[in-house]
Amino acid sequence: MKELRKFRTGDVEDASRRAAELVGVHAARAGLIDVAYATVDTPVGALILATTRTGLVRLAFPEEGLDHVLEDLAASLSPRVLENPRMTDPVRRELDAYFDGRRRTFRAAIDWSLASGRFSRRVLEETARIPFGSVSTYGDVAGRAGSPRAARAAGNALHDNPVPIVVPCHRVVPSSGGIGKYGGNEWRKAYLLRLEGALAG
């Protein structure tokens, strides 16, 4: 009897998941979604992905909390936020390939709507150009963004990076040595740098 209940519960959960996906697909086709989101399991935790028609707008680490991220997206972009794994699948596939060691660059389009200001966006755009397996300093990134003396401001922009990993702020390190701080916790930064071969051990 217990096994039968488990089987039926699993069936209901699968049916609910499929129904939610169908609702998401129809809503997308009808233009009722402004922001689609999904979660994806990775070696650094279950990441929260959010996309718009323009591109990837948010990638959040699990400790930020799904509810908090969704509330922020609704307040900052649009209240029409809906779970829709299909709309986030292209980014998810790129992340899977990256963590499997099969991808060195991301081709996903970026929606910069959540970049806070012109300088922050320039910093993020310059950071996106740092090659796989390489690192750059905060001062270098600030200089390429047009303000060589604004290393601290560059650090703040990178701390608030709305799409980490895809815009690889983990590749920016202090000129004094070490890997420096990271909005997604230092252990993730070390993991990503090791994955890319930029950090030994």
Question: Are domains 2-99 and 115-195 of this chain identical in fold?
Answer: no
Which pLDDT score is estimated for 105? Answer: 96
169 is catalytic: yes
The larger pLDDT score, comparing residue 166 to residue 6, is at: 166
Residues above pLDDT 70, as percent of the chain: 84
Mean pLDDT of 22-29: 45
pLDDT tens digit string along 51-88?
999 999 999 999 999 999 999 999 999 999 999 999 99
Q: Using CB atoms within 10 Å of the CB of residue 130, give its burial: 0 to 12 exposed, 13 to 18 middle, 19+ buried.
A: buried
Residue 15 has pLDDT above 60, yes or no: no
CATH of domain 115-195: 1.10.10.10
- pTM, two decimal places: 0.83
Residues above pLDDT 90, as percent of the chain: 81
- Which residues, 6+ apart, have CB-to-CB distance to 177 below 8 Å? none
Which pLDDT score is estimated for 11? Answer: 54
Mean pLDDT of 111-123: 95
The residue extents of the domains of the chain are 2-99, 115-195
CB atoms within 10 A of CB 117: 11
Mean pLDDT for the chain? 88
Which pLDDT score is estimated for 26? Answer: 42
CATH class name, domain 2-99: alpha beta
pLDDT band for position 8 (cuts 50, 70, 90): low
Residue 179 has pLDDT above 60, yes or no: yes
Among 48, 142, 151, 169, the active-site one is 169
